[in-house]
Each structure stands twice: as C-alpha cells, then as structure tokens.
Structure 1
Amino acid sequence: MDEGTQLRGLLRAAEAAAPVEALDVVSEDLRRRFGAETVSFLIVDLTGRAVVRLTTVGSESGRRAQRIELFGSIYERVVRTQQLHQEPVARGQRVIAPVTNRGDAIGLLELTLPAGPEEPVLQAVREAARALAYIVIANQRFTDLYTWGKRTTPLSLPAEIQYRLLPASLACEATPFTVACNLEPSANISGDTFDYTLDRETLHLSLTDPMGHDLQAALLATVLVGALRRARRAGADIIEQAHQANQALVDYDRGHATGQLLRINLRDGRTQFVNAGHPWPLRMRDGQVEEVAIAVDEPFGLPFPHTYQAQTLDLRPGDRLVMLTDGILEHGAENADLAAILQASQDLRPRETALALTTAALKACGGRLEDDIVVIVLDWHGTHQPTGTSAGPP
C-alpha cells in the first residue's frame, strides 16, 4: 500500500472516530505501521513557551496533561526550525516531528521507533504529522480537549472573552508573506486584540487596544472586533471599516480604543494603513530598525465628528513590519530594547520574533505586566499572481 493510500485511510479513520478519540486513532495507526512503542502528541500552550503532552484515557475525568518548558529543550528546537529530530534512546529511536499548518506551530508528534528507521519511515512520520495538523484543526471545532490542553492555568472571565476574540491560528504563511501574532496578557486584562484574514488578493490585519481593564475592557474589545469583522466581511473598504468601528463604540458609550488597520494587495504590494490614535509601527529593513512615522488619527469611539485617512505604507520585499500595543512601551516594559531584539532575531521566523519581544518585555517588568502586550510581526516577501481560489504557500 502506498503512502498516499495509507494517509487517506488515516484521515478517514480519524474522521469516523469521536473528536476526542482522533488522537488515539493516529497513535494506533503509527504503532501498527511502524512498530512504535510510544506515541505522543504535544500541543503548544497559550504562552508559546511550553508544550503540553496531551493524553486521553477513555473519559473526560481521565484526561492528563504534562507541561514541559520549551526553553533550552529539543522540543524548542523542533518548533523553531520546523525540522524533524531523531536520536537514539535505550529502547530504539526517538523521533519528533512538527505538527504545523500554514506556519501555525500547533504542536509536536513524538514517537519511539525501532532502532535505525530508514528515510521512507521518517518521511511517513512527517506526512503523519502533517495529517495530524488537519485532524486537530477539524476536531477542535467539536471538543474542548485541545483548548483544555493549551491552558495550564485557569482563565478569568475577561481573559476567556479576550482569547475567544483572537483568530483560530496565531500565524500564517503564504507565498508573499509570513505573519505571526502574540498576546501577553496583564494581570488585569486590558482587552488588547489582533486579527487577520486572507482572501484571494488581500491580506487584512488589525490591532486594537481598548481603554480600561478586566471585564469592561473585554466587552469594549468584543464590540470593536465585532464591528471591524462585520464591516470587513461586508466588503467595506478600510476607511469605512474604521468609521463603523468608531460608530459602534460611540453607540456603546462605554469608552474608546486605539488601533491600526493594515490592508495589503497581494498582487501589487500596495498598502493602506489607518492609524487610530496608536503608537507607530516599527520596520526593519536591511538590518536597520526604525519607527514608521505616519499621521495619527483620533481613537475609535470619541463622540465628536472626525475622519480617518488611508495612508500608504512603504513596504518592500525583505521588510519586517512590527505592529504593537502600548503595553510594550510603558510601565517598565519600555526597558526592553526592541530594536536590539529585532536585530538579534532577524534570522528567526516571525513567530519566534514575536515571542522574543513579549518575553523581553515581561522580563523587564519583573514577570508582571501592568498592561496587555500584543505584537504582530509581518515579513513581506514580495508580490505574486494568485492563480487559485486563495493565496497559499508554494
């Protein structure tokens, strides 16, 4: 039986199983096909700094999870490089493969195989890990198992609301760009959010920072993100999106918010940028970091007439653009040298760069933030001509 047929069989078996049993189906398939003694799926947790070894044992009450810090571990290396790792162990060969979809590092597949697996077996493990990514994405719609696995500490109600506002994937790779986003919440949730979506010809990005803390900030963020998504999905241009977001907060009458909207045409690279009272983004070009000094319009939600302008952003192939909320610029977090961090991480993927920025800010604050931090890192590779129904990796 060829590899394609085996993978199709695996996907069909996982689809036929209950959502919480899909991991067991994959484990049993790998044990049967390759004689694997152990099989584990490790999911990346909400912090991005640990993985959780996710195991199901027959019932909801029997779920177990083991949290493993990524820093300095072989797991960190596999997540960072996205390359399969193998090493000899007492009972055979330890193999760890990245479970990733379009640049989103979902987790890791770890197996103990008989000694000396040949390249066809290792390639089959890589393909099984890719299939597992689709299995997790499909099944997480029907169960809290994967969400539970990502949470090593309970969330407050404001934090629950805040995380549910974020896109399902925190990173995306396509031919012309790679984008990654990271949220580092403060002790008292401030409602900072990010969003992105990709259509046939356009990448849409947004970053928002409502006033206040805790539940009120989360509710403001809910109104704001909902208004932006509604306008975008109705086909509104970027200025109309900003106006509708502003009007939604005016009508809600509970506060205002700053934010940024970015729209990039994937065919010609033209950009439109709305800056609603928000700090300037950073751009790294040829190893040099600078603020992008653009006009600043009024925040969303101010109850007097004002307008928004769609500005042009100079974006060239090879540029790295960083959008961030002001939590990284104040309350002690400003002691982190963002330019130096960006220069030191320029060879890393956007996901690792975003994590490096938030980690440095958290360290500068002694481990306790006074305000949320959101970071969006966008690498612009250059234009292409889409030929299918959506932009995607080569």
Structure 2
Amino acid sequence: MAGESFGLGEVLVAAENASPVQSVAVVARNLRDRFDASDVSFLFVDLIGQEVVRLADQRGSESGHTAERFRLRGSVYDDVLRSQRLYRESRRDGQERVLAPVTNRGDVIGLLELTVPHTDEAVRRQIGEAAHALAYIIVTDRRFTDLYHSGQRTTRMGLGSEIQHQLLPSASCCEAAEFTVACGLVPADNVGGDTYDYALDRNTLHLSITDAMGHDVDSAILATLLVGALRRARRERGDVLEQARQAHQALSHYNRGFATGQLFRVDLEQGMVQVVNAGHPRPLLLRDGEVREVHLDADLPFGVPMTWPYSIQKLELRLGDRLILITDGMREREAAALDLPALIREGRDLHPREAVRALTSAVNDVAHGDLQDDATVLCFDWNGPATTPS
C-alpha cells in the first residue's frame, strides 16, 4: 500500500458521504488502512496563533475532542508551521512520529500528527498529500459545524468579540502568484472595534483595515455597519470612493459613532494602488531593506460630518515591496514601547503570515497579555504581475 497513490478522490468521496464533523476520522481511517498508522490526530491553531489544540482521532469517542493544548512558541509544532515542511522523529519503540502542516493557500489551519511503523519518501509524500486534502475538507466542512470554530478558541469570548470575529474573512492568509496577504488581530477575548478584510477579483485585490470607536458590543455593532457597507459597495463593483461613500453614509444615517479606516484597490496587472485614508494611522512600507511611513493625507473618519468627498491617493508598488497596515493599537498605550520599523526589518525574510504573528506577539508580550485595545496588522507582499501563459 505504501507505494500506491494517496487516492485523493477516494478520500473526498468518503468525506462527502460522512458527517461534516467526521473529516478527521475519514483521513485517519485512510492513513490507518494504508500505513498501519496510529494516534492520528488534528491540531488546530488558535485564533491568535499562540497555541495549538488537539482534536483527537474519533475512534471510540463520540466527539473526539480533548482539551489538550500546547504552547506554540519554541515547539516542534511551531517549526513545522513556520517551515511548512513535514517533520518526523524516531521513537524508542522503533516507530516514527510524523507531523504535517494542514494549510490551504497559505492559510494555516493546523497540523496532522500520527505514528507509523516506518516511513520512506513515498509514505512521507502521501502523508503530506493527506494533510493537504484534510485542509480542503475542513475548509468545506466548517461551513456546516461549529466544531472547528470552537477548536480554535483558547479563551472565552465576549459577545462583542463574537460579533467582531464574524466580520473577519474566514482565512487570515491568502497566497497568489502576484501577492501574499496575511492578517492578525489580538486580543481574541476582548474587542475594541478593529476589523480587516480582503477580497480578490479577477485583476484586482481589495484590502481594508478599520477601527470603530468605542469598546465591546457598541464598537462591534458599529463595525458591523461599516464592514457591511464596504462589502456591499465592493460586491456591487463600486470603486474605493464608492465604498468610502457608502461606509460614511451608513455610519452617518444610523448615528452610532465614527470609525477610521483605509481602503486599498490593488491593480494586479500594473502594481498601482488606489487608497482612501479616512483618518487612519499611516501604513509602513518595507522597500529595499528600509522601512518608511507611507505619506497619506487624511480625510475625516467615516461617520464624521464633512462637506467634501473622500479623495483617492495613489501608490506605485515595486517588486518585493511589503506593505504593513496597522491600527492604533499597534502604536499607542503599551505598544508605544515597540520599535515597529525595527521589528519589520528584522522580519523581512519571514512569510507574511509569520511576520504578522511576530508583530502581534510582540505587542501582546509588551502588554503582558493584557492589551487595553485591539492591535491589528495586515501584511501585503507584492510579487509582481503574474506571467500569462502563452
């Protein structure tokens, strides 16, 4: 069996015929049958990328869920997620422990862990394929169950935070030929009104980062109005000016407060960016090893009475540019002690996903895990226009 193809079609059919909560069990059964694998389990990465939580092999258990948690930093799990490479180690009983990243288009979902009698190149390749298949299965099946959402939580969330996290994209990272975008928000169990968003069109990438005034449920409701208005305008093919106009109109009409924000429209064929800056902290640009603040004039925040329209500003990207969008939680209060440009320079060789985790971990550490405001980061890497096949 070890020399055969993984049989992706067979696993996908089995997953489709099973309950959506049985995704891990389907892959585990396949691995047991093929390689006599044991102790097969899936580990979630938590919402802020600090821990992994084990969802066990569901044989003999109705839920298959345990509270077993592991700190990521400095662990072998962290090494696997950072490198995105399969890991194996020999055990005293002669068997081998194997870890494989479960990732979809750059978005880290977790890890597959199992024990097998032995591995060779073919077995390792097929375990990697199984982990990749599991990523697609989980992305599909988590639409139908709270199992995977619950597994990501390592702290209790308030109502405001629950609302806020429903406003975020389902994947915090996306890789494409032209770019990689990754996002992060801390803390997960409190809320200060921050959101991030992205959406890919055929030749355009839309990015946004916003910060609604207030805290807890009030700011979450304000953020709901804001994100809803932005997404409606975007999905109706509105440009960044129209998105800004509708966001401002929504907040003004319901008179619930104001929000700062930045809207970006990236032309993926030309590398040109249109930006609307509604009173938000300026982004940082890493170019040729140096970090500088991007000079953007500030219009008034969304929801603040104004007598003139929002303005479009332009930015031309160069190959290798890294753009960092932030909210004030990354600069103010406890975060003021951080040297953000230095941290960005130090992490210039990191994948955007890991660069975001490094920045959010740094601000969480300096606040000793007790941030008084959300701290949000969006990291965008520009790889250049995709080459069109001839």
- Is contact 1:298-1:306 (8 Å) kept? no
Structure 1 residues 5 and 28, CA gap change in structure 2 (3 angstroms): closer
Check if 1:267 corresponds to 2:269: yes
Distance (whole Å) between structure 2 residues aligned to residue 294 and residue 375 of structure 1: 18
Distance (whole Å) between structure 2 residues aligned to residue 186 and residue 41 of structure 1: 22
Distance (whole Å) between structure 2 residues aligned to residue 370 and residue 152 of structure 1: 19
Structure 1 residues 266 and 4, CA gap change in structure 2 (3 angstroms): farther
In structure 2, the partner of 1:64 is 66
In structure 1, the partner of 2:258 is 256
Deviation at 1:365, TM superposition (A): 2.0
Structure 1 residues 172 and 32, CA gap change in structure 2 (3 angstroms): same
Task: Number of aligned residue pairs: give it.
Answer: 386
Q: How does 1:189-208 map to 2 (within 5 A)?
A: 189-208=191-210
In structure 2, the partner of 1:391 is none
- Is contact 2:330-2:375 (8 Å) kept? yes
Distance (whole Å) between structure 1 residues aligned to residue 130 and residue 13 of structure 2: 13
Could you say what secondary structure the match of 1:180 adopts? Answer: strand
Deviation at 1:385, TM superposition (A): 4.8
- Is contact 1:186-1:368 (8 Å) kept? no
Distance (whole Å) between structure 2 residues aligned to residue 43 and residue 365 of structure 1: 25
- Is contact 1:208-1:258 (8 Å) kept? yes
Distance (whole Å) between structure 2 residues aligned to residue 276 and residue 5 of structure 1: 51
- Is contact 1:181-1:377 (8 Å) kept? yes
- Is contact 2:157-2:189 (8 Å) kept? no
Structure 1 residues 192 and 229, CA gap change in structure 2 (3 angstroms): same
Structure 1 residues 5 and 86, CA gap change in structure 2 (3 angstroms): closer
In structure 1, the partner of 2:13 is 12
Distance (whole Å) between structure 2 residues aligned to residue 319 and residue 5 of structure 1: 38
In structure 1, the partner of 2:292 is 290
Distance (whole Å) between structure 1 residues aligned to residue 65 and residue 208 of structure 2: 36
Match of 2:331 among 329, 332, 339: 329
- Is contact 2:285-2:291 (8 Å) kept? yes
In structure 1, the partner of 2:23 is 22
Could you say what secondary structure the match of 1:47 adopts? Answer: coil
Distance (whole Å) between structure 2 residues aligned to residue 34 and residue 186 of structure 1: 39
- Is contact 1:31-1:38 (8 Å) kept? no
In structure 1, the partner of 2:247 is 245
- Is contact 2:173-2:180 (8 Å) kept? yes
In structure 1, the partner of 2:32 is 31
The residue type equivalent to 1:347 in the other structure is: D
Could you say what secondary structure the match of 1:107 adopts? Answer: strand
Deviation at 1:315, TM superposition (A): 1.4
- Is contact 2:203-2:269 (8 Å) kept? yes
- Is contact 1:187-1:368 (8 Å) kept? no
Distance (whole Å) between structure 2 residues aligned to residue 4 and residue 33 of structure 1: 10
Distance (whole Å) between structure 2 residues aligned to residue 228 and residue 42 of structure 1: 34
Instruction: Calculate the aligned-residue CA RMSD, in Å.
Output: 1.7
Distance (whole Å) between structure 2 residues aligned to residue 150 and residue 67 of structure 1: 11
In structure 2, the partner of 1:82 is 84
Could you say what secondary structure the match of 1:332 adopts? Answer: helix
In structure 1, the partner of 2:104 is 101
Deviates further, 354-363 or 71-80: 354-363
Deviates further, 312-321 or 254-263: 312-321
In structure 1, the partner of 2:353 is 351
In structure 2, the partner of 1:218 is 220
Deviations for 1:3-35, whole angstroms, at most 9, x for unmatched residues?
557111011101110011121111111011011
Deviations for 1:268-292, whole angstroms, at most 9, x for unmatched residues?
1111111100011000111111100
Could you say what secondary structure the match of 2:317 adopts? Answer: coil
Deviation at 1:308, TM superposition (A): 1.0
Percent of aligned positions with the same letter in both sequences?
53
TM-score relative to the length of structure 1: 0.95
TM-score relative to the length of structure 2: 0.96
Could you tell me which runs of 5 or more consecutive residues in structure 2 were left unpaired when the two chains were aligned: none
Deviation at 1:90, TM superposition (A): 2.2
Could you say what secondary structure the match of 2:315 adopts? Answer: coil
Structure 1 residues 331 and 370, CA gap change in structure 2 (3 angstroms): same
Deviations for 1:161-204, whole angstroms, at most 9, x for unmatched residues?
01110000000000011110000137751110000011111111
Check if 1:51 corresponds to 2:52: yes
The residue type equivalent to 1:250 in the other structure is: S
